[in-house]
Amino acid sequence: MEGFLNLNKPFGITSHDCVARSRRLLRLKRVGHGGTLDPAATGVLPIALGKATRLLQYLRGDKAYRATIRLGVATTTDDLQGEIITSNPVTGLSLEEVKQALGQFEGKIQQVPPNYSAIQRQGKRLYELARAGETIEVEARTVEVNKIEILDWRDGEFPELEVAIACGPGTYIRAIARDLGAALQTGGTLAKLIRTESCGLQLADSLTLEELETKLQEGTFNPITPAAALEHLASVSLASTQAHKWRQGQRILWEDIAERSLPELLQVYREDGVFLGIAQLVNSGDEHLLVPQMVFESIS
C-alpha cells in the first residue's frame, strides 16, 4: 500500500481530518496530504500512502479551481465562513467592468495571504493568531496565476462571479476574491471553492471517502503508482550493478550523451522497472553524475 490516493475532499472537514480518516480506513501509519484545502472547500486532495509520503515534495505544484466570488460582501476570513465586515448591495456594475478588473490578477502578481491561513508566524498558524485576536502583518509574496476564465455571471444585489482559475503553488483563491472586491470598490469574498486539479490529479478521477471504503471492502482499491504521479519528471533506468550502488547512496557516473539535456530532477528506475527514487543530475567537470536525492528503499 504505497502510492497515492486522489481523494475528493468533502465540505466541512479539514485536510488533517481527511488524512486521519484515510489512515483508519487503509490501516496505515504513514499517511500525508499534498496541499491543504480549507474546511469549506471541496475537491482534489492528494493523499500519500506509506513511503510515498517522502515523494510529496516532488509532485507537480500547479493547481486548478472552480470558484464562486460574491461581490458586495467582505469578511474576516475572505470567505463566507468568517464574520461579515461590510455588506452593501452592488448597483450599476457590469460584467465588462469585472472582466477588466480580473485582468490584473493574471500572470505573476503580488498577493497578501489571508490572515486566516495556515502560514506559520511565531511558531503558530496565522489562523490561530487571528482567532486569539492578534494582528499580524502578512507580507505580500509573488504567486503565479496562469489563467482566469469566467464561467458564469449572476447579477443582483450581491452578484456572483464563477471562474476557473489555473495557478501555481501558494496562490490563495480567497485573496483573489478579496482583492477583486477591493479593485471594484464593492467588497468581495469567496462563496464556494472546488479544487479541480492538484499535483497532476484530476477531480473526475477522484474518490470520496465513502467510495474508498467500498473499494477497500471489495478489494478493488489500487493506489496511484509513483510513476503515474511523477510522470512530469523525466526518468532514467539503471543496470542492476548501478542500481545497487545508487540505492546505497553512491553517485553514479551518467555517460549516456542522449540524456545530458535532461532536467535536474529525475525519476530513477532499475532496468526491470522497479522504482528506486529521485536523483539530481549534476555537472562535475566534463562528467554528469546522478546524485541520490530520495532513495525510495535503501539497502545495506
Name the DSSP class of 257. G
Q: What is the largest CA-CA distance in the chain?
A: 72
CA–CA separation, 196 and 151 (whole Å): 14
Q: What is the DSSP string of 62-87?
A: -EEEEEEEEESEEESSSBTTS-EEEE
For cell 456572483, what's the residue? 160
CA–CA separation, 254 and 242 (whole Å): 10
CA–CA separation, 161 and 151 (whole Å): 8
Q: What is the DSSP string of 199-225?
A: TTEEGGG-B-HHHHHHHHHHT---PBP
Q: What is the DSSP string of 276-296?
A: EEEEEEEEETTEEEEEEEEES
CA–CA separation, 141 and 156 (whole Å): 34
38 catalytic? Reply is yes
Which position among 17, 38, 155, 179 bears the catalytic label? 38
The answer to whether 278 touches 58, Cβ cutoff 8 Å, is yes
CA–CA separation, 127 and 120 (whole Å): 9
**Annotated active-site positions, please?**
38
